[in-house]
Structure 1
């Protein structure tokens, strides 16, 4: 695929564009927000499960955000949140090598003892861009998480246009990831980023040039994103067409949407779940936050087109210039910018 043709598949248009059903048979119309096909959802008890791209795995539509697991002062509270979520059928666990200097992984590793590992689809991320750095971080993740295999490893913070060239270059991080997968330490591979849709498209492009297809892609998906440097408009249609698992993050823009009063937490989660996400990852640093997420899943119905249009209309002003999505417009959320040594 030529670069110009690749980028043409994702063209942003006005926010009034309605959501349309995503389909594996073909691309979503240019500019449209793809919509989750509710017939593909599997309901067991009070939990809903969706397919993770082509992996053959079913994951809970809501996932436990790993960064927030490191926030409670008492480790026991973090462990209780994780185990309660798993007992409720919420099987997708998010984490990262650098969250709280490894504390989030250490706590999750403890929570996964006593038979809880078998209930979880475990994902974590690495920052290394070189083979040596990535290999070291993968092994550290395995030790902290107290597991022999990580279900999904993701290249973290693909923020710069050159990041993809680094990981796929000679002695790049992808060599370490492939080595870990062949050794049975890793099952699936994806990447994350929160800065710019073009960086995501570039990463997908470089992967194709190297004959590689990602299993998952993680990105911000929220009611403000549709208006500004939009991942939903520019990247999501490509993932739907390619049947790559979609991991939505920052559904409340790291809390900024709630502070702006542009939308409620429940509205934010319902919107993200109405998109063709395999899982929406959200922070649960308290039992109340976990209960809120479980209640949303239990009562979820895809938002009608009219409600989506109204929700986007009332959030348009708050979304202007990325004011409340500072992870797109500043280095405030860029761990690898503050710690370039993590990349190797």
Structure 2
């Protein structure tokens, strides 16, 4: 283990102790009128809790078959998922429309509903919020996030053009309960935005970012951003647990076509890593929820099974998984990242 990794582990352990809202031990399992609910973890400073697994909206929108989408939603609810992700313009709005048809009319009061706005201007995100609420058939979001911050300059431009003010306004008006931000390009972008917020004396509620076994070895969000978020008591939503599907290389049944190439190695097939390991590693971090992209019913079932049968990982276990994945870390597998000077 390197000195830098030891220092990170020590700092993370200290921060986790100071932030019990994020510790795995703080997860609780309960039920509602529909049945058993997956283990819950605290998301926000004021105590809002969500299921430890969140169904991603992007992959839901891949299918053009509405009955398939409905089956995915229904199975998610049956399995105890109560946290649902989306974003304006996922598949031209189809992802939000599916949830507006099959999720919110029946289950709005049972779920925690999140969506995101990618536009870079005040006028644009205000319009997108209206479109999102209409598509999802709800008059409020539980969480609305500034979506896909790209670079420090992108942060500066969006702030200059009033994006944050619209988010703060929407929260004040009750159109959204909580606000956050997302991004997957480079940890410097997140740190730049957090510094901007510090200068304004502001704290948002959540951050959604990539966390997986490859991440600690290349442009790491886990090493550089996670400790800062924990210190500020943000709810951390993990995404790209399987690097957007790239850890399965060119396997047609698991890897989205838009990132599937012959050059991406199948990390799971080439190593001792299992699909369960990939989720176990992320659950071992002090996160609030893991947002998973599923295109088939069996993928939801498999991901839920990992959570229901979760095995605690020691620091030695995590180090072993990181070392196995390390040769594959970088832009070929983590193809969503970018290197900044």
Output the TM-score relative to the length of structure 1: 0.85
User: Does residue 1:160 correspond to 2:170, yes or no?
Assistant: no
1:17, CA displacement in angstroms? Answer: 6.3
Counterpart in the other structure of 2:338:
329
| Counterparts in 2 of 1:271 and 1:178: CA distance versus 1, 3 Å | same
- Unmatched 5+ stretches in structure 1: 1-11, 28-33, 331-344
Segment of structure 1 superposing worse, 192-201 or 16-25: 16-25
SS in structure 2 of the partner of residue 147 of structure 1 = coil
- Distance in structure 2 (CA, Å) of the matches to 1:73 and 1:114: 20
Q: Mapping of 1:189-338 within 5 angstroms?
A: 189-259=179-249, 260-262=266-268, 263-319=273-329, 321-329=330-338
Shift of 1:22: 5.1
Larger displacement relative to structure 2 (112-121 or 293-302): 112-121
1:76 matched residue in structure 2: 67
Mapped to 1, the partners of 2:14 and 2:334 lie a distance apart of 26
Equivalent position of 1:4 in the other structure: none
Three-state SS of the structure 1 residue aligned to 2:303 is helix
1:37 aligns to 2:23 (yes or no): yes
CA 1:63/1:38 → structure 2, altered by over 3 Å: closer, same or farther?
same
- Residue 185 of structure 1 and its aligned partner are, at CA, apart by 0.8
Paired residues of 1:55 and 1:215 also in contact (CA < 8 A):
no
Contact 1:64–1:282 (CA under 8 A) maintained in structure 2: yes
- After superposition, the CA RMSD in angstroms is 2.3
**Residues 171-180 or 56-65, more deviating:** 171-180
The SS at the match of 1:219 is: strand
Which residue number corresponds to residue 47 of structure 1? 38
Q: Please say if residues 66 and 95 of structure 1, whose CA atoms lie closer than 8 Å, have aligned partners that are also in contact.
A: yes
Aligned to 2:255: none
d(CA) in 2 for partners of 1:60 and 1:22? 25
Q: Is the 8 A contact 1:126 1:154 kept in 2?
A: yes
Q: What does the per-residue CA deviation read over 1:87-138, in whole Å, with 9 as the maximum and x for residues that have no partner?
A: 3321111111021010000001111244311121111110122211110010
| 1: CA distance, partners of 2:221 / 2:4 | 12
Structure 2 unpaired stretches of 5+: 31-35, 250-265
SS of 1:258's equivalent?
coil
Superposed displacement of residue 37, structure 1: 2.5
Match in the other structure for 1:339? none
| CA deviation map 1:132-181 (0-9, x unaligned) | 11100100000000000011000111111023223333x51112222222
Aligned to 1:266, the other structure's residue is in SS state helix
Aligned length: 311
1:227 & 1:289 partners in 2: Cα distance?
27
Cα displacement (A) at 1:241? 1.0
1:294 shift after superposition: 1.2
Q: Distance in 2 between matches of 1:83 and 1:309?
A: 37
